[in-house]
Amino acid sequence: MAIERTFSILKPDATARNLTGAINALIEQAGLRIVAQKRIRMTRDQAETFYAVHKARPFFGELVDFMVSGPVVVQVLEGEGAVLKYRDVMGATDPSKAADGTIRKAHAQSIGENSVHGSDAPETGAIEIAQFFSGNEIVG
């Protein structure tokens, strides 16, 4: 399988509970390498652009409010089949449906405050990475 990159966000519920290290440990244990990482405060513009695909959904306003409610950690993860591998490590969107051993099973609080984001395909991953990182910030 090819070496890929995927985009990850540790969401405000995770940073608020001091879980950056605990979540990074699960990421690294899965064989993914954190090749870029920074802690930022997302602007409302950035959050609305990032989640534009969900604009028509009833939870869009709540989602944007949540993403700007506190610091987030944005990351680039690299590894074999990184996109699908990270989706597996994250677990289901709704933590009550997430499998044992996943980040969301261990740490997520609700379907909205679910601790992590991961890209759903390599193409979206590339777009999402470019929204937050310039090339020289990614060190593989």
Query: Would residue 8 be called left, alpha or beta, if left means φ above 0 and alpha means ψ between -120 and 50 degrees?
Result: beta
Residues recognised as catalytic: 117
The position carrying tokens 């591998």 is 85
Binding residues for ligand GDP, how many (CB under 6 A)?
9
Encoded one letter per residue, x for contact with ligand GDP by CB under 6 A and - for no contact, window 46-65 reads: -------------x--xx--
Rounded (10°) angle between helices 82-90 and 20-29: 130
* 27 closest CA partner among 95, 97, 104: 104
Q: Which residues are annotated as a binding site?
A: 11, 59, 87, 93, 104, 114
User: Is 114 a binder of ligand GDP (CB under 6 A)?
Assistant: yes
112 binds ligand GDP, rule: CB under 6 A: yes
* Chain residues that interact with ligand GDP, rule: CB under 6 A: 59, 62-63, 93, 111-112, 114, 117, 120
